[in-house]
């Protein structure tokens, strides 16, 4: 199971492994307070894409498409998160204030799609 959560929100027992998926460490937050189990910078959007998006909901569709394009080069990291989520709860952490328009929303969709494709491939092979 994959959940998404703002890194500034209080850690909870049900979070499972907490993975920060931003390239920048969140401002004003200590590693202890964040309770981040793993920081996967490589899964965050590039600096250029993040700056261009500027968390403008009007750019959300274009941001999502561009970010998915950037993630195509991260198959190994995506597969690792998908495998872990198959065994336990994984919470993708993001720093943005907007809980509907952020990279973790797109990333969760990409990982969920990857997991569905793998399950379908296994069924076809069986």
pLDDT reported for residue 117: 80
State the Cα–Cα distance between residues 122 and 86, nearest whole angstrom.
14
- Res 101 pLDDT > 80: yes
Are the C-beta atoms of residues 29 and 10 closer than 8 Å to each other?
A: no
**This prediction's pTM:** 0.92
pLDDT above 90: residue 88: yes
Once rounded to an integer, what is the mean pLDDT over residues 98-116? 94
Q: Per-residue confidence at 34, pLDDT binned at 50, 70, 90?
A: very high
| Residue 104 tokens, joined | 């973790």
Which pLDDT band holds residue 105 (cuts at 50, 70, 90)? very high
């Amino acid at each position: 199971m994959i959940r998404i959560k703002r890194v500034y929100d209080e850690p909870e027992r049900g979070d499972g492994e907490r993975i920060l998926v931003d390239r920048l460490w969140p401002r004003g937050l200590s590693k202890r307070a964040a309770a981040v189990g793993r920081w996967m910078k490589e899964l965050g959007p590039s600096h250029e894409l993040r700056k261009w998006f500027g968390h403008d909901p009007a750019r959300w569709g274009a941001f999502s498409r561009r970010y998915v394009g950037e993630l195509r080069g991260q198959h190994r990291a995506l597969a690792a998160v998908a495998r872990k989520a198959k065994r336990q709860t994984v919470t993708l952490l993001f720093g943005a204030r907007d809980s509907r328009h952020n990279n973790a929303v797109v990333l969760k969709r990409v990982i969920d799609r990857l997991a569905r494709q793998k399950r379908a491939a296994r069924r076809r092979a069986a």
